[in-house]
């Protein structure tokens, strides 16, 4: 079994596509911003796993319960001998439920931007599923993406859990779904989508009492210090994550607690006291609004499952 990580070739220029390039461009804008995909180096991925176990973070346990409850139905929809392609695979915890239910899965292809972390979690999956062909890929699913096909006839099914789709503004989310549809060569896509709900519950999920989400947010600054020799003072910034009810999204910021300047790759960036740096959006959908968007992206939305409190939803989309 070959579990070596492959790196997908990149379509964008290094300037657009690197952490340094994104930081230099994003901190030169008004308002300042950093792309959320850069949360995920090895520390960021571990912090995200810790978030998933927090009592306030209902998303992971609700989605795992939905996957377990409907695993047989999902396996039947995916079909026999399927290659499961997971976008933004993270800890690989959720796919185990699908692999256990699937009928003779042909291969599992987890794709993630966080290469060192992916390497570790794939090793432990390989030990638990010795007969499975594993094809881990390090890459960015927002860039043009061609996953090499396996020899012979094959059927792919995509898996995109964790409401990662919510990190994209609706137009970008639709473009991403379209790109995934073409990567799947006619196969279906199972997507986990967080639902619009009581703002108090949403606010708590992104502002946990233990401060883990704050550490995750500030990991962007710590990562810039580690990798790029920047001199951010993470204590000089506060985690701020309000719910924007009109836009149905949590917005995440790092807010400068004082007037300060930071040097990064030979450039100096000034921050006013109270100045925000936008780091993430997490859009919430209704089941209907997500199905409409998926249809506009070229899918036929089929089965949808939710929990009794309507916190989270799982959508099976067929390519058309
Ligand atoms: C919200 S987490 C979800 C993790 C996991 N799928 C789950 O459901 O718990 C987002 C995951 O997507 C990965 N990711 C984020 N942006 C990405 C990108 N542009 N390309 C590839 N992976 C990305 C992150 O490294 C992280 O593992």
Tens-digit pLDDT profile for residues 267-284: 999 999 999 999 999 999
Our mutation pick for probing the ligand 1 site, out of 9, 113, 144, counting the most ligand atoms within 8 A of Cβ, is 113
For the residues 312-316, what does the mean pLDDT come to? 99
Nearest to 155 by CA among 92, 206, 103: 103
Q: What are phi and psi of 257, to 5 degrees?
A: -85, -10
Q: Looking up tokens 């710590």, which residue turns up? A: 222
The enclosing H or E element of 299 equals strand 299-306
For the residues 3-14, what does the mean pLDDT come to? 60
Residue 3's pLDDT band, with cuts at 50, 70 and 90, is: low
140 pocket-lining for ligand 1 (C-beta < 6 Å): yes
Å from CA of 140 to ligand 1 middle = 9
For the record, the structure tokens of 53 come out as: 């176990």
142 pocket-lining for ligand 1 (C-beta < 6 Å): yes
Contact 192, 63 (CB under 8 A): yes
pLDDT of residue 9: 55
Question: CB neighbours of 320 closer than 8 A, spacing ≥ 6?
Answer: 298, 299, 300
Our mutation pick for probing the ligand 1 site, out of 34, 164, 223, 313, counting the most ligand atoms within 8 A of Cβ, is 164
Residue 67's pLDDT band, with cuts at 50, 70 and 90, is: very high
More confident of the two residues 3 and 159: 159
Residue 55's pLDDT band, with cuts at 50, 70 and 90, is: very high
For the residues 3-15, what does the mean pLDDT come to? 59
Q: Is the torsion defined by CA of 31, 270, 232, 204 positive or negative? A: negative
For the record, the structure tokens of 78 come out as: 């995916």
Å from CA of 119 to ligand 1 middle = 14
Give percent above pLDDT 70 in the chain. 96
For the residues 33-49, what does the mean pLDDT come to? 98
| Residues paired with residue 318 on neighbouring β-strands, in sequence order | 300
Average pLDDT, the chain: 95
51 pocket-lining for ligand 1 (C-beta < 6 Å): no
For the residues 167-188, what does the mean pLDDT come to? 96
For the residues 10-20, what does the mean pLDDT come to? 63
First to last CA, the chain: 33
């Amino acid at each position: 079994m070959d579990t070596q990580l492959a790196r997908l070739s990149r379509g964008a220029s290094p300037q657009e596509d690197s952490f340094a390039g994104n930081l230099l461009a994003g901190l030169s804008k008004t308002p300042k911003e950093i792309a959320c995909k850069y949360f995920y180096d090895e520390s960021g991925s571990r912090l995200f796993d810790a978030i998933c176990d927090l009592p306030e973070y209902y998303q992971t346990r609700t989605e795992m319960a939905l996957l377990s409850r409907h695993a047989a139905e999902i396996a039947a929809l995916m079909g026999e001998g399927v290659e499961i392609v997971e976008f933004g695979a993270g800890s690989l915890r959720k796919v185990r439920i699908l692999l256990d239910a699937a009928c003779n899965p042909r291969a599992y292809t987890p794709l993630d931007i966080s290469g060192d972390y992916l390497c570790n979690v794939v090793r432990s999956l390989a030990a638990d599923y010795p007969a499975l062909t594993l094809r881990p890929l390090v890459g960015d699913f927002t860039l043009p993406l061609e996953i090499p096909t396996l020899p012979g006839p094959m059927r792919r099914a995509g898996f995109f859990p964790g409401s990662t789709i919510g990190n994209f503004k609706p137009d970008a989310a639709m473009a991403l779904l379209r790109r995934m549809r073409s990567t799947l060569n006619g196969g279906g896509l199972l997507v986990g989508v967080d639902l619009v709900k009581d703002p108090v519950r949403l606010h708590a999920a992104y502002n946990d009492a233990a401060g883990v989400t704050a550490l995750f947010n500030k990991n962007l600054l710590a990562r810039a210090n580690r990798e790029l020799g920047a001199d951010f003072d993470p204590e000089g910034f506060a985690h701020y994550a309000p719910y924007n009810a009109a836009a149905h999204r949590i917005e995440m910021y790092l807010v400068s607690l004082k007037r300060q300047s930071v040097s990064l790759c030979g450039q100096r960036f000034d921050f006013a006291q109270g100045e925000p740096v936008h780091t993430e959006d997490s859009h919430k959908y209704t089941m209907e609004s997500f199905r409409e968007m998926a249809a506009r992206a070229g899918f036929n939305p089929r089965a949808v499952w939710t929990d009794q409190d309507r916190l989270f939803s799982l959508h099976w989309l067929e390519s058309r």
